Amino acid sequence: MSNDVDLSLLDPILKKYQSQEGALITMLQEIQAVYGYLSEVVLTHLSREVKVPLSQIYGVVTFYAQFYLTPRGRNIIRVCRGTACHVRGGSRILEAVEREVGITEGETTPDLEYSLETVACIGACALAPTMVINEKTYGKLTPKKVMESLSRKDRKEREVE
């Protein structure tokens, strides 16, 4: 799969930041916006082009939570693990999601349908416990409601070939 990566998509970004030292994070953000994540092939190419050791690039990528080294799912589930949600059974909600989609926090399903993340607070504490699927917030959750939410059709559907 990695051999199929179109590295020419990197060219405009490389050109744009050609002589700018300290632009690595911005470049990585733009590269991730293009590819969806930062693959080894892409980072190796970047390292060669900007003459920054690959280990240094990985140091940056792994330091910031905004960067992803593996593909992400079409549907991003974010379960809140903030205090308000925690005291109202947030961990049971996370367990229910994990059971339902078959992955744990930080993982993506093999079919790239779902990625599962946790967040500190989604700003809807009155609705605790909460989760967000893509842009939609689900509140006052129970494990049963989790199952219903995940089967709803307001998530992104697989693109039809």
CB of 97 to ligand FES, least distance (A): 14
CB of 81 to ligand FES, least distance (A): 7
Nearer to ligand FES, 85 or 146 (CB): 85
Q: How many helices (H) and strands (E) does the chain have?
A: 7, 4
Nearer to ligand FES, 60 or 121 (CB): 121
Nearer to ligand FES, 42 or 85 (CB): 85
Q: In what order do the strands lie in the sheet with 75-80?
A: 114-119, 75-80, 131-133, 136-138
User: Which residue is nearest to ligand FES, using beta carbons?
Assistant: 82
Quick check: helix, strand or coil at residue 138?
strand
CB of 154 to ligand FES, least distance (A): 20
Nearer to ligand FES, 111 or 135 (CB): 135
CB of 148 to ligand FES, least distance (A): 19
Question: Which of 40-67 are b and which e, b meaning 16 or more Cβ less than 10 Å from the residue's Cβ?
Answer: eebbebbbeebeeeeeebbeebeeeeeb
Question: Which of 89-109 are b and which e, b meaning 16 or more Cβ less than 10 Å from the residue's Cβ?
Answer: bbeebbebbbebbebeeebbe
Residues lying near ligand FES in the complex (CB under 6 A) are found at 80, 82-85, 121-122, 124-125, 128, 130
Nearer to ligand FES, 83 or 142 (CB): 83
Quick check: helix, strand or coil at residue 114?
strand
Quick one: which H or E segment has residue 99? Answer: helix 90-101
CB of 142 to ligand FES, least distance (A): 15
